[in-house]
Amino acid sequence: MADGVLGYEVAEGVATLTLNRPDKRNALDRTLVVALKEALERAGTDESVRVVALRGAGPDFCSGADLAELERIAEMGERESLADARFLGDLFVRMRRHPRPLVAVVHGHALAGGCGLATACDLVLAHEEAELGYPEVRLGFVPAMVMTILRRRVGEARAFELVARGHRVSAPEAERIGLVNRVFEGSSFDAEVGSYLEELAARPASAVRLAKGLLYELDELGFHDGIERAAEVNVEARRSDACREGVRRFLERRSRGS
């Protein structure tokens, strides 16, 4: 990965992408965003990868935008600023369209763009002492690029409260409002995360891919079109080798009374 800012490792069907700027609290800059895009493309074409986990090196997941980036943003003209915003937005679109489930593994702080990066993943697992939030409003800024995803994850009222107040929320509170899927105790965090990722990676890849694709495709469809598209995906799933094998094993177990 570019300049070593992002680690990439594959084991047991899980590709682990590790933000590797611990001295900067894994703050996002253009180099790191480029590295993330490259790593996601690599994982998406590797048949051995079934799940992508996103983690942070050091004490934090990601503290947001790099200070140097903030200084640069403040001096940008309108066109340059729009292009820069779209550059980050493109990362979120790629994450949404990625064929594998993306899992953010959050410890320490996930703030501003770092919280946005976690929210853009399909699933979020958090350490019990982690803190998440969108403090941009305190600087007169808006976490605009993640809003489309955030309102779908937690609902409009929760999303507005998070971005308008700019307060940090604990991992248990984040789980309660739907920002986080699971919270694990610190003493068993790595083991619990490992088990979760292992279990997800063991699911038939074709079924998981179809489920993720349909889930997000429904955003763009009305009710009746959504049902019709679901029927098409249903047929595709039924015709897969994984489904046929799964049904065969299920019926064999039933016939044995197990």
Quick one: CATH architecture of 2-202?
Alpha-Beta Complex (3.90)
Q: Record the tokens describing residue 191, joined without a space.
A: 């083991």
pLDDT for residue 186: 94
Residue with tokens 């609902």: 155
Q: Record the tokens describing residue 252, joined without a space.
A: 């064999």
Catalytic choice (69, 131, 136, 175): 136
One-character DSSP codes across 218-243: GGGS-HHHHHHHHHHHHHHHHTSHHH
pLDDT for residue 56: 98
pLDDT single digits (tens) 132-163? 999 999 888 888 889 999 999 999 999 999 99
Separation CA 54–CA 69 (nearest Å): 22
pLDDT for residue 222: 82
pLDDT single digits (tens) 48-69? 999 999 999 999 999 988 767 7
| Domain spans in the chain, listed from the N-terminal domain onward | 2-202, 205-256
pLDDT for residue 113: 92
Give the three-state DSSP class for 19: strand
> Within the chain, which residues score under 70 in pLDDT?
1-3, 67, 70-71, 73-74, 234-235, 238, 243, 246-247, 250-251, 254, 257-258
Cα 151 to chain center, whole Å?
A: 15
Burial class from Cβ neighbours inside 10 Å (0-12, 13-18, 19+) for residue 17 reads: buried
pLDDT for residue 139: 84
pLDDT for residue 21: 95
9 is catalytic: no
Q: Quote the pTM value.
A: 0.91
pLDDT for residue 251: 67
